């Protein structure tokens, strides 16, 4: 078994068939399995999973995970997988026809533990919104960029033996749980490869947990997640070597990305104060960050405004 594609499923009947069909089509040249893991769905997702498992019994595995959240499901799936490589795919997204074969070919050619791909961000009709390029494995500073990138788990394929050796797992019970792990993976290997082609299609779904139109107290999960993220670098003895990258990661996630949610709802306003406290604790000299100073003046001003809100 060359690859295990792990798909957490929660009320995904609107998109699930498109996702699974795209993975099945990509298995023409390689041997793979699909782990469809139902996470307490209340719509027709469970039936769709059963239908695929019956139609493709040698490829599709129907599983259930009662612990809530994508992190718990991914961790469960990684333990159940039998493929040489793991790929965590979201149920509302889809992949290119030759995606798995291209990624596995590159992984074996480079003897890589970690392979990153390009991804296309699309709307619900499949129209392109933007392209998320892969970090160039040939760049001498690829580790620096990888740490700053902030990718989702779906943008990399990982060697299962390497994943298990280091005991990697997603932080359960939080949103933003993927960022806590993903950008630190590169600390544990020099065997990195990339395919800078749109092999993954990330669907901008307004119904997802990160695009809600009412206040969600989980927006404050960013604080324990970043704390745990920093701890990973301390444990690896890399917090000094990658100080600037870590500092920029905090700036981006606190003063740009999360600030959008803090400012959207009255209940989110305390997030600005907590962001100041966290930056003062970890990076009191953040204003001099070299990556921030490379950004357009407009973005630099926005960051400072969000800091003082």
Summarize pLDDT for 95-105 with one digit per residue, the tens. Answer: 999 999 999 99
pLDDT of residue 98: 94
Share of the chain above pLDDT 70, in %: 97
As a whole number, the mean pLDDT across the chain is: 94
Identify whether residues 191 and 47 lie together within a single domain: yes
Identify whether residues 124 and 31 lie together within a single domain: yes
d(CA 42, CA 255): 36
Q: What is the pTM of this model?
A: 0.93
Q: Which domain holds residue 108?
A: 3-210
pLDDT of residue 172: 93
Range 6-18 average pLDDT: 96
Identify whether residues 86 and 229 lie together within a single domain: no
pLDDT 10s digits, 178-213? 889 999 999 999 999 999 999 999 998 765 544 456
Identify whether residues 51 and 167 lie together within a single domain: yes
Domain end among 160, 193, 210: 210
Domain count across the chain: 2
Identify whether residues 287 and 175 lie together within a single domain: no
Identify whether residues 68 and 163 lie together within a single domain: yes
Identify whether residues 47 and 181 lie together within a single domain: yes
Domain end among 186, 210, 234: 210
pLDDT at 53 over 90: yes
pLDDT of residue 209: 46
Q: Domain containing 60 — which CATH number? A: 3.90.550.10
Residue 216 pLDDT level (bands cut at 50, 70, 90): confident
pLDDT at 115 over 60: yes
Identify whether residues 197 and 240 lie together within a single domain: no
- Better-predicted residue by pLDDT, 150 or 55: 55
Domain end among 210, 232, 251: 210
The CA–CA distances, whole Å, from 72 to 18, 171, 195, 223 equal 23, 8, 28, 20
pLDDT 10s digits, 160-187? 999 999 999 999 988 888 889 999 999 9
Identify whether residues 202 and 287 lie together within a single domain: no
Exposed/middle/buried for residue 191 (C-beta within 10 Å: 0-12, 13-18, 19+): middle
pLDDT of residue 206: 63
pLDDT at 214 over 90: no
Identify whether residues 183 and 263 lie together within a single domain: no
Identify whether residues 175 and 216 lie together within a single domain: no
Identify whether residues 189 and 228 lie together within a single domain: no
pLDDT 10s digits, 221-245? 999 999 999 999 999 999 999 999 9
């Amino acid at each position: 078994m060359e690859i295990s594609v792990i798909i957490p499923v929660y009320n995904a009947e609107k998109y699930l068939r498109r996702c699974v069909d795209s993975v099945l089509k990509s298995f023409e040249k390689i041997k793979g399995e699909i782990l469809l893991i139902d996470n307490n769905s209340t719509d027709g997702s469970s039936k769709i999973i059963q239908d695929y498992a019956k139609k493709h019994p040698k490829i599709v595995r129907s599983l259930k995970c009662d612990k809530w959240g994508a992190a718990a499901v991914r961790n469960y799936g990684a333990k159940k997988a039998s493929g040489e490589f793991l790929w965590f795919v979201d149920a509302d997204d889809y992949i290119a026809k030759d995606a798995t074969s291209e990624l596995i070919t590159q992984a074996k050619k480079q003897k890589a533990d970690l392979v990153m791909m390009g991804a296309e961000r699309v709307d619900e009709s499949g129209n392109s919104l933007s392209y998320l390029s892969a970090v160039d494995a040939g760049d001498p500073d690829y580790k620096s960029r990888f740490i700053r990138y902030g990718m989702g788990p779906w943008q990399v394929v990982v060697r299962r033996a390497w994943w298990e050796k280091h005991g990697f797992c997603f932080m359960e019970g939080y949103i933003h749980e993927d960022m806590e792990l993903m950008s630190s993976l590169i600390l544990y290997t020099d065997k990195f490869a990339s395919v800078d082609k749109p092999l993954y299609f990330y669907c901008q779904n307004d119904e997802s947990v990160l695009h809600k139109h009412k206040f969600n107290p989980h927006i404050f999960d960013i604080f324990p997640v970043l704390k745990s993220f920093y701890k990973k670098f301390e444990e690896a003895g890399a917090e000094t070597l990658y100080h600037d990258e870590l500092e920029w990661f905090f700036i981006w996630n606190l003063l740009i990305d999360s600030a959008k949610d803090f400012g959207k709802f009255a209940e989110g306003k305390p997030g600005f104060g907590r962001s100041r406290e966290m930056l003062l604790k970890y990076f009191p000299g953040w204003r001099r960050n070299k990556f921030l100073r490379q950004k357009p003046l407009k973005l630099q001003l926005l960051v400072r405004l969000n800091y003082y809100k």
